[in-house]
Amino acid sequence: KQWFGYCTRRLKENPQMAGVILKALFKKG
């Protein structure tokens, strides 16, 4: 899953993005 590695790098650069991504995942789930 390349998107996962991409996201993890983004989270390291901008930790606050984690909240946005988690919200998006919960909306999809």
pLDDT digits (tens, 9 = 90+) for 1-29: 787 888 788 778 887 877 887 888 888 77
Other residues' Cβ atoms within 10 Å of the Cβ of residue 8: 10
Q: Which residues contact 7 (CB under 8 A, 6 or more apart)?
A: 21
Three-state SS for 14?
A: coil
Instruction: Determine the length of the chain.
Output: 29
pLDDT confidence of residue 25: 85
pLDDT confidence of residue 16: 84
Number of domains in the chain: 1
Provide the domain limits for residue 26: 1-29
pLDDT confidence of residue 18: 79
pLDDT confidence of residue 6: 84
pLDDT confidence of residue 24: 87
pLDDT confidence of residue 28: 79
Global pTM? Answer: 0.38
